[in-house]
Each structure stands twice: as C-alpha cells, then as structure tokens.
Amino acid sequence: MQNDNQIISIKGTKDGLIFHINDEESYQDVILQLEEVLASVPHTDQQEKAANVTLQLGYRHVSPEQKKQLREMVEKDNHFFIEKFDSKVISREKAKQWFEEHSLKSISQIVRSGQVLDIEGDLLLIGDVNPGGEVRATGDIYILGKLHGIAHAGTKGNDEAVIAASYMNPNQLRISQYISRAPDYETEGVYMECGYLDKENEKIVIDRLQVLPYVQRKLRKLKGGMYDG
C-alpha cells in the first residue's frame, strides 16, 4: 500500500506490517498522511487480532511525546499494534551510554589489597594489581604491570572480553560469568600473557599475548556463526 507522494508506504511481512515513513518530510505532513492511511483501512470484526506494526523512521528522531501520539493514532481502532519503533538515530543518552561502554579508559595507579577499580568500557591500567586487589570492566582489561589480584572482564555479560597483562600471576580471572582459579604456574608467574574464554569447552584459557589478535577474530567468527543459526 502506497500513497501518491510516498510519505508513508506499507509492506506486509510474515510477522506483520512495516510502515515506512519518509524521513525527509515534516512531522506534521507525516501526521496528516498517517490519518489518511488509517482512515482508508477497511473496518473488520473487532474480535480479529490486531496486526503487529513496525514503524520505520529512517533518520528521523521522534520525541517520547511524538511516539505517544503516533501510538495513539495507529492503535486507536484496535486494528494495529505498534510492536516497535525502528530508527537509525539514537538519543543523546543512549549515544553517551554506548560511548562509555565501548571506550578505552586509561588509568595510572596501583590497585592495592581491598581496593576495587570498576569501570564501563575497556580498561587500560598502567600499574600493578596487588594480591587482594580487584579490577573490573564491562569490556577488555589490559594491564601494563603485574596482575596478582582479581581481574573480571565482561562484567555485564560480554563473554568475548579478554584479559591481558605484562606479568600474569592472578588470584583469579573472570570473564562474564565464568571463573578461573589461580593458574598452577611452575614459576612465580609468566610475562606477556592473556586470558580469554574458550566457548566450546566453557573455560578460561591463558595463552601467549601474541595469540590475542587470532583469538579475537575467532570469537567474532563464533558469534557470527551463532547469529546465523
């Protein structure tokens, strides 16, 4: 279903309907066109289940008040139910949250026993983590120093996070919900090592730092494979 000036076009899918709204037109013109489109919908049995609708907004930003208005218009006669608003733009708050979760925080300090350093995003720590100290990050953890305490990467469920240190002799490593006990080193520790999650065996593996680029590519490939079914 399409209108003459293409402000709104409707496409049917197996999951419902997609209302594509031209993002170059004014919001007021969109409202006027939407009224015409909805008025042209044939009346059906009120007992019939409402069709799911996705509003594709393109690069148009709509405020909470505008979303409320659109929802009230579309759902007024119980013919349609808005399942989601699909937009290619995000709010300032969500953009800030995304930046914090994906940015690298560089911190220079020593994390002593009893201290916890907890940050959003990836952590680059220039300094040591003493026994009894803990560093936590929602992303990766890179330590230019000695790791003797606890390191927990991917604290919000990111099981692709990695932990790397110039000198690795931790009390404990954690990635997402997975926990690794202190490695049984023959010596006091090892230099230039990294820890990552072996998803197939569901355990944290410690290996040479040189394998990190390969590991990260493999993790991305595994993730893509799971999404592809």
Whether residues 14 and 76 fall in one domain: yes
Q: Is residue 134 part of a domain?
A: yes
Whether residues 85 and 109 fall in one domain: no
Whether residues 56 and 111 fall in one domain: no
- Residues in CB range of 143: below 8 A, 6 or more apart: 125, 127, 128, 129, 135, 151, 163, 164, 165, 166
Whether residues 124 and 204 fall in one domain: yes
pLDDT tens digits for the chain (229 residues)? 444 567 999 899 988 999 999 998 999 999 999 999 888 877 655 557 888 999 999 888 888 899 999 999 999 888 899 999 988 877 677 777 767 766 889 999 999 999 999 999 999 999 999 999 999 999 999 999 999 999 999 999 999 999 999 999 999 999 999 998 655 554 455 678 889 998 888 899 888 877 776 666 655 544 443 333 2
Whether residues 77 and 108 fall in one domain: no
Report the domain count for the chain: 2
Whether residues 148 and 190 fall in one domain: yes
pTM: 0.55
Asked if 81 contacts 75 with a C-beta cutoff of 8 angstroms, the reply is: yes
Alpha-carbon dihedral 187, 189, 191, 195, rounded to 10 degrees: 130
Q: Is residue 43 part of a domain?
A: yes
Domain's final residue, options 89, 106, 130? 89
Report the distance separating Cα 212 and Cα 193, nearest Å: 9
Give pLDDT, residue 103.
81
H helix runs in the chain, sequence order: 27-39, 64-75, 92-102, 212-227
Domain's final residue, options 89, 106, 125? 89
Domain's final residue, options 61, 89, 117? 89
Whether residues 68 and 15 fall in one domain: yes
Q: Is residue 12 part of a domain?
A: yes
Residue range(s) defining the domain that contains residue 51: 8-89
